Chain A
Amino acid sequence: GENVEQHPSTLSVQEGDSAVIKCTYSDSASNYFPWYKQELGKRPQLIIDIRSNVGEKKDQRIAVTLNKTAKHFSLHITETQPEDSAVYFCAAPGASGGYNKLIFGAGTRLAVHP
Protein backbone atom coordinates (compact mmCIF):
# COMPACT_ATOMS: atom_id res chain seq x y z
CA GLY A 1 0.00 0.00 0.00
CA GLU A 2 0.92 3.65 -0.07
CA ASN A 3 2.75 4.84 3.02
CA VAL A 4 5.21 7.58 3.91
CA GLU A 5 6.69 7.64 7.40
CA GLN A 6 8.44 10.70 8.75
CA HIS A 7 10.72 11.19 11.77
CA PRO A 8 11.07 12.92 14.12
CA SER A 9 7.66 14.44 14.80
CA THR A 10 9.26 17.38 16.63
CA LEU A 11 12.76 18.81 16.44
CA SER A 12 14.23 21.60 18.50
CA VAL A 13 17.60 23.16 17.60
CA GLN A 14 19.65 26.21 18.43
CA GLU A 15 20.09 28.87 15.80
CA GLY A 16 23.07 28.00 13.61
CA ASP A 17 22.81 24.25 14.20
CA SER A 18 21.84 21.74 11.52
CA ALA A 19 18.52 19.91 11.32
CA VAL A 20 17.83 16.58 9.64
CA ILE A 21 14.41 15.08 8.93
CA LYS A 22 14.04 11.57 7.55
CA CYS A 23 11.32 9.82 5.58
CA THR A 24 10.74 6.31 4.31
CA TYR A 25 8.35 5.25 1.56
CA SER A 26 6.81 1.94 0.61
CA ASP A 27 6.34 2.03 -3.18
CA SER A 28 9.59 1.11 -4.90
CA ALA A 29 8.29 2.63 -8.15
CA SER A 30 8.19 6.13 -6.62
CA ASN A 31 10.40 8.55 -8.52
CA TYR A 32 9.68 12.01 -7.11
CA PHE A 33 10.25 13.21 -3.55
CA PRO A 34 9.27 16.75 -2.57
CA TRP A 35 9.50 18.57 0.73
CA TYR A 36 6.91 21.15 1.73
CA LYS A 37 7.15 23.79 4.45
CA GLN A 38 4.03 24.97 6.24
CA GLU A 39 4.27 27.99 8.50
CA LEU A 40 1.61 28.49 11.17
CA GLY A 41 -1.72 29.28 9.55
CA LYS A 42 -0.23 29.26 6.05
CA ARG A 43 -0.39 27.02 3.02
CA PRO A 44 2.19 24.25 2.41
CA GLN A 45 4.84 25.42 -0.03
CA LEU A 46 7.42 23.40 -1.93
CA ILE A 47 10.97 24.12 -0.76
CA ILE A 48 12.95 21.44 -2.57
CA ASP A 49 12.37 18.23 -4.49
CA ILE A 50 14.44 15.40 -5.92
CA ARG A 51 13.86 12.86 -8.66
CA SER A 52 15.08 9.31 -8.56
CA ASN A 53 17.82 9.82 -11.15
CA VAL A 54 19.96 11.77 -8.65
CA GLY A 55 21.10 11.02 -5.12
CA GLU A 56 21.42 14.54 -3.76
CA LYS A 57 20.21 18.04 -4.52
CA LYS A 58 21.17 21.25 -2.80
CA ASP A 59 19.70 24.75 -2.73
CA GLN A 60 21.59 27.18 -0.52
CA ARG A 61 21.09 26.03 3.08
CA ILE A 62 18.78 23.12 2.29
CA ALA A 63 19.60 19.78 0.71
CA VAL A 64 17.80 16.53 0.09
CA THR A 65 19.40 13.10 -0.19
CA LEU A 66 17.79 9.98 -1.61
CA ASN A 67 18.62 6.31 -1.07
CA LYS A 68 16.43 4.32 -3.47
CA THR A 69 17.75 0.97 -2.31
CA ALA A 70 16.71 1.63 1.27
CA LYS A 71 13.63 3.62 0.18
CA HIS A 72 14.39 6.63 2.31
CA PHE A 73 15.13 10.30 1.76
CA SER A 74 16.17 13.10 4.07
CA LEU A 75 15.99 16.88 4.35
CA HIS A 76 19.05 18.68 5.67
CA ILE A 77 18.94 22.30 6.81
CA THR A 78 22.27 23.91 7.72
CA GLU A 79 22.89 27.12 9.66
CA THR A 80 19.29 27.16 10.88
CA GLN A 81 17.58 30.50 11.46
CA PRO A 82 14.46 31.37 13.48
CA GLU A 83 12.50 31.82 10.23
CA ASP A 84 13.11 28.14 9.49
CA SER A 85 10.67 27.34 12.33
CA ALA A 86 7.68 25.61 10.70
CA VAL A 87 6.20 22.19 10.02
CA TYR A 88 7.97 20.26 7.27
CA PHE A 89 6.28 17.50 5.26
CA CYS A 90 7.89 14.95 3.01
CA ALA A 91 5.85 13.31 0.26
CA ALA A 92 6.02 10.63 -2.39
CA PRO A 93 3.79 9.84 -5.37
CA GLY A 94 0.72 7.72 -4.84
CA ALA A 95 0.84 4.34 -6.57
CA SER A 96 -2.19 5.08 -8.67
CA GLY A 97 -5.05 7.42 -9.25
CA GLY A 98 -4.41 10.93 -10.44
CA TYR A 99 -1.79 13.23 -11.83
CA ASN A 100 0.66 14.63 -9.27
CA LYS A 101 -1.03 12.64 -6.50
CA LEU A 102 1.16 12.87 -3.41
CA ILE A 103 1.13 10.92 -0.16
CA PHE A 104 2.38 13.06 2.71
CA GLY A 105 4.19 12.16 5.88
CA ALA A 106 2.74 13.23 9.23
CA GLY A 107 5.08 16.21 9.47
CA THR A 108 7.98 17.43 11.60
CA ARG A 109 7.56 20.52 13.73
CA LEU A 110 10.93 22.32 13.71
CA ALA A 111 11.63 24.95 16.33
CA VAL A 112 14.78 27.06 15.95
CA HIS A 113 15.68 28.90 19.13
CA PRO A 114 17.71 32.14 18.98
Chain B
Amino acid sequence: ETGVTQSPTHLIKTRGQQVTLRCSSQSGHNTVSWYQQALGQGPQFIFQYYREEENGRGNFPPRFSGLQFPNYSSELNVNALELDDSALYLCASSLARAGITGELFFGEGSRLTVL
Protein backbone atom coordinates (compact mmCIF):
# COMPACT_ATOMS: atom_id res chain seq x y z
CA GLU B 1 0.00 0.00 0.00
CA THR B 2 1.54 3.30 -1.11
CA GLY B 3 1.05 6.47 0.88
CA VAL B 4 0.18 9.97 -0.30
CA THR B 5 2.87 11.46 -2.50
CA GLN B 6 3.24 15.07 -3.60
CA SER B 7 5.37 16.88 -6.14
CA PRO B 8 7.36 19.02 -6.34
CA THR B 9 8.70 19.13 -2.79
CA HIS B 10 10.02 22.68 -3.09
CA LEU B 11 9.57 25.43 -5.64
CA ILE B 12 10.18 29.14 -6.00
CA LYS B 13 7.98 31.44 -8.07
CA THR B 14 7.62 35.17 -8.54
CA ARG B 15 4.54 37.30 -8.01
CA GLY B 16 1.98 37.00 -10.79
CA GLN B 17 3.14 33.58 -11.94
CA GLN B 18 1.07 30.42 -11.89
CA VAL B 19 1.85 27.13 -10.16
CA THR B 20 0.58 23.55 -10.35
CA LEU B 21 1.06 21.12 -7.48
CA ARG B 22 0.38 17.40 -7.79
CA CYS B 23 -0.80 14.70 -5.43
CA SER B 24 -1.26 10.94 -5.66
CA SER B 25 -3.77 9.52 -3.20
CA GLN B 26 -3.24 6.58 -0.93
CA SER B 27 -4.49 3.35 -2.46
CA GLY B 28 -8.18 2.77 -1.76
CA HIS B 29 -8.99 6.42 -1.00
CA ASN B 30 -11.51 8.34 -3.07
CA THR B 31 -11.31 11.84 -1.60
CA VAL B 32 -8.52 14.39 -1.85
CA SER B 33 -8.35 17.55 0.24
CA TRP B 34 -5.85 20.37 -0.08
CA TYR B 35 -4.64 22.43 2.85
CA GLN B 36 -2.43 25.51 3.10
CA GLN B 37 -0.09 25.66 6.09
CA ALA B 38 1.59 29.01 6.65
CA LEU B 39 4.69 29.07 8.81
CA GLY B 40 3.79 28.52 12.46
CA GLN B 41 0.11 27.94 11.72
CA GLY B 42 -2.25 25.02 11.47
CA PRO B 43 -3.38 23.63 8.11
CA GLN B 44 -6.21 25.63 6.52
CA PHE B 45 -8.75 23.87 4.30
CA ILE B 46 -8.62 25.03 0.68
CA PHE B 47 -11.00 22.57 -1.00
CA GLN B 48 -11.81 18.92 -1.49
CA TYR B 49 -12.41 16.74 -4.52
CA TYR B 50 -14.70 13.69 -4.59
CA ARG B 51 -15.70 11.83 -7.74
CA GLU B 52 -13.74 14.37 -9.79
CA GLU B 53 -15.91 17.27 -8.56
CA GLU B 54 -15.15 20.00 -6.04
CA ASN B 55 -16.98 18.94 -2.88
CA GLY B 56 -16.45 21.74 -0.40
CA ARG B 57 -14.32 24.85 -0.34
CA GLY B 58 -12.71 26.97 2.34
CA ASN B 59 -12.18 30.71 2.39
CA PHE B 60 -9.84 30.90 -0.60
CA PRO B 61 -10.29 33.04 -3.75
CA PRO B 62 -11.15 31.55 -7.17
CA ARG B 63 -7.53 31.81 -8.32
CA PHE B 64 -7.08 28.62 -6.26
CA SER B 65 -8.49 25.81 -8.37
CA GLY B 66 -8.06 22.09 -8.69
CA LEU B 67 -8.72 18.87 -10.47
CA GLN B 68 -9.21 15.24 -9.54
CA PHE B 69 -8.51 12.51 -12.06
CA PRO B 70 -10.18 9.09 -12.47
CA ASN B 71 -7.31 7.44 -10.61
CA TYR B 72 -8.07 9.80 -7.67
CA SER B 73 -4.84 11.80 -8.10
CA SER B 74 -5.25 15.55 -7.92
CA GLU B 75 -3.78 18.91 -8.87
CA LEU B 76 -3.87 22.26 -7.12
CA ASN B 77 -3.47 25.29 -9.37
CA VAL B 78 -2.82 28.79 -8.11
CA ASN B 79 -2.93 31.72 -10.54
CA ALA B 80 -1.62 35.25 -10.12
CA LEU B 81 0.63 34.30 -7.21
CA GLU B 82 0.91 36.72 -4.30
CA LEU B 83 3.60 36.93 -1.63
CA ASP B 84 1.11 35.64 0.99
CA ASP B 85 0.72 32.42 -0.99
CA SER B 86 4.11 31.34 0.32
CA ALA B 87 3.33 28.27 2.44
CA LEU B 88 3.45 24.51 2.70
CA TYR B 89 0.66 22.98 0.62
CA LEU B 90 -0.53 19.68 2.00
CA CYS B 91 -2.57 17.11 0.18
CA ALA B 92 -4.62 14.68 2.25
CA SER B 93 -6.48 11.64 1.01
CA SER B 94 -9.24 9.80 2.82
CA LEU B 95 -12.12 7.43 2.34
CA ALA B 96 -15.52 9.09 2.12
CA ARG B 97 -18.14 7.46 4.33
CA ALA B 98 -21.55 9.05 4.73
CA GLY B 99 -22.10 10.43 8.19
CA ILE B 100 -18.70 9.41 9.56
CA THR B 101 -15.69 11.71 9.74
CA GLY B 102 -12.48 9.77 9.36
CA GLU B 103 -8.72 10.06 9.29
CA LEU B 104 -6.85 12.24 6.84
CA PHE B 105 -3.63 10.84 5.44
CA PHE B 106 -1.25 13.65 4.54
CA GLY B 107 1.53 13.87 2.02
CA GLU B 108 4.87 15.46 2.86
CA GLY B 109 3.76 18.71 1.23
CA SER B 110 5.00 21.10 -1.41
CA ARG B 111 6.76 24.16 -0.03
CA LEU B 112 6.05 27.17 -2.22
CA THR B 113 8.03 30.37 -1.94
CA VAL B 114 6.77 33.43 -3.81
CA LEU B 115 9.29 36.23 -4.32
- Residues of chain A touching chain B, judged by Cβ–Cβ distance below 8 Å, are 4, 6, 31-32, 34, 42-46, 49, 89, 91, 93-94, 96-107
With A4-B42, A89-B43 known, 7 other A-B pairs at CB within 8 A are A32-B102, A43-B90, A46-B103, A100-B94, A102-B45, A105-B42, A107-B41
Asked whether A104 lies within 8 Å of B44 as measured between CB atoms, the reply is yes
- Which partner residue on chain A sits nearest B94 by CB separation? A100
Asked whether A93 lies within 8 Å of B101 as measured between CB atoms, the reply is yes
The answer to whether the Cβ of B107 comes within 8 Å of any Cβ in the partner chain is yes
- Residues of chain B touching chain A, judged by Cβ–Cβ distance below 8 Å, are 4, 31, 33, 35, 40-45, 47-48, 50, 55-58, 90, 94-97, 100-104, 106-109
Asked whether A31 lies within 8 Å of B101 as measured between CB atoms, the reply is yes
Asked whether A99 lies within 8 Å of B43 as measured between CB atoms, the reply is no
- Which partner residue on chain A sits nearest B108 by CB separation? A43
Known: A97-B48, A99-B50, A99-B94. A44 touches B106 (CB 8 A): yes
C-alpha spacing A22/B37, complex, angstroms: 21
| Min C-beta distance of B88 to chain A, whole Å | 10
| Min C-beta distance of B109 to chain A, whole Å | 6
